[in-house]
């Protein structure tokens, strides 16, 4: 069971990440419409920060001090996304990190296509929802804003400066993005 803080938000997460792509696209457009009607902005939030169990280990990273103010703000509509789930990686799944220009797990399996597909899909949903900014999970190969896990060759991954693939797509569209660590440090 997820730690998710809001049943309506969990329902939206399920629609966005379900097998029916048309329904997911419609859910994003519905959120855009609702936000426009309310005079609110849409903010992408990594689903794991909201309590969805989307992490590689089957857990979440619910961070109340970071997400609760957004959820309480009547001028904000939250768009919960997990690019890795959208890319079909499942949960739980092997931990992955960047190795040169690929995304691999400890066994050396290449997950680049799934991470890329998930980043593309999440970016399309963010665009359809009219997202204006994002709060993402630091260190993730998809959502890392300032740091990601990276290794050279067979070496074990370590934290290094870099950006996840989804964060990179949002940045290319000039959306302001921060990580939960950026918010906590303020």
96-149 pLDDT per residue, tens: 999 988 999 989 999 999 999 999 999 999 999 999 999 999 999 999 999 998
Question: How does pLDDT run across 55-96, given as a tens digit for each residue?
Answer: 999 999 999 999 999 999 999 999 999 999 999 999 999 999
| R_g of the chain computed on alpha carbons | 16
Pick from 9, 121, 146: nearest CA to 70: 9
In the predicted structure, residue 153 carries a pLDDT above the cut 90: no
> Cα torsion at 170, 171, 175, 176 (round to 10°)?
120
115: nearest Cα among 96, 92, 100, 129: 96
List pLDDT tens digits, range 17-34.
999 999 999 999 999 999
Is pLDDT larger for residue 23 or for residue 186? 23
Pairing label, strands 96-99, 102-105: antiparallel
Paired strand residues for 177 = 134
b/e map 159-172, b = 16+ CB within 10 Å? eeebbbbbbbbbee
Which residue is associated with the tokens 């992408």?
44
Residue 184 has pLDDT above 50, yes or no: yes
């Amino acid at each position: 069971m997820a730690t998710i803080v809001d049943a309506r938000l969990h329902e939206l997460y399920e629609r966005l990440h379900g097998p029916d792509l048309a329904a997911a696209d419609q859910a994003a457009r519905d959120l855009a419409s609702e936000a426009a009607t309310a005079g609110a902005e849409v903010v992408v939030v990594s689903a794991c920060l909201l309590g969805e169990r989307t992490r590689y280990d089957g857990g979440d990273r619910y961070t109340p001090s970071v997400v609760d103010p957004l959820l309480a703000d009547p001028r904000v509509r939250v768009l919960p996304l997990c690019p890795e789930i959208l890319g079909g990686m499942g949960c739980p799944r092997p931990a992955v990190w960047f190795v040169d220009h690929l995304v691999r797990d400890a066994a050396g399996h290449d997950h680049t296509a799934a991470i890329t597909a998930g980043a593309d899909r999440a970016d399309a949903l963010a665009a359809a929802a009219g997202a204006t900014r994002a709060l993402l999970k630091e260190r993730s190969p998809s959502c890392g804003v300032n740091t990601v896990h990276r290794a050279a060759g067979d070496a074990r991954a370590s934290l290094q400066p870099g950006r996840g693939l989804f964060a990179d797509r949002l940045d290319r569209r000039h959306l302001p993005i921060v990580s939960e660590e950026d918010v906590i440090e303020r």
